[in-house]
Each structure stands twice: as C-alpha cells, then as structure tokens.
A = this chain, B = another copy of it.
C-alpha cells in the first residue's frame, strides 16, 4: 500500500492491511480538512521521497515499541476539499491498549516529523501557507 496518494483515502483499505484473526482491537484516526474561517480546501505538498522514508521510520519505530500491533498510514496530497481526509492511520493489535497507543503515537510523530505543508484555500480566492503546528 502506498503511503502517499492523490486519491481519496479509504478506511476499508487500511483496515484490510492491519486486521487479522489474532488482533481483536483496532484503532483508526482520520484527520479531515476543517472549514475554519472561510477555508474551502487545503492544498498539501510534500518532500515526497523524504516523507515516504520518514513514514517508514515511524512505522518501524512503532513496530519495535508495540511488536504485536500492525499499523498502516496513508497521507493524501494535492487539493483536499473540506470534510475529506488528509490522513488515515489504522492500528490493530491483540488488545485495545496497544491499538490506541500505537495509533496515537503515529499521528503525533506525523505532526512533528513529516515534511508536508498545507496551503489553505479560501472562498474569497485567497491562499495562505499554514506554518504553525495545528492541534487537530
């Protein structure tokens, strides 16, 4: 499964990657574009080669810390309209503690480490780079 895509993210596809008969708990996180202050969409760009490597590092670290968990992550790039997902993370594990913890760990690492940038597009035609960490 590709970690970066320009297509809509499909939760079912991520679930299929991580779930199995041994893993009874699955935690999914979806980050979607909010309609803050006239925002109609966000254009996502990435340093793609580095982002892919960073995602693989994050997933490898997560696997080391929660060996029973299986985790998948996809980030969408390009123009994403309000309400659609820019990121989807799925973590499945035998028990729910690890599923929640691994999923949360990945989104926090993504926010800190992925070389991806957002330009907000507004209904009035204006555009603006988002440069502060958000807390979505």
Contacts and interface: CB of A to CB of B under 8 A. Distances in A.
Contacts of A135: 95-97
Chain A interface mostly helix, strand, loop or mixed? mixed
B96 A100 contact: no
Interface size class of chain A, counting residues whose CB lies under 8 Å from the partner chain: 20 to 34
Interface string A78-105: 0000110000000000111101100110
A112 interface: no
Closest 4 CB pairs of A and B: A28-B28, A21-B35, A24-B34, A24-B136
Interface of A: 11-12, 15, 19-35, 82-83, 94-97, 99-100, 103-104, 107, 135-136
9 contacts: A11-B28, A20-B83, A22-B34, A22-B35, A24-B34, A26-B28, A27-B30, A29-B100, A31-B96
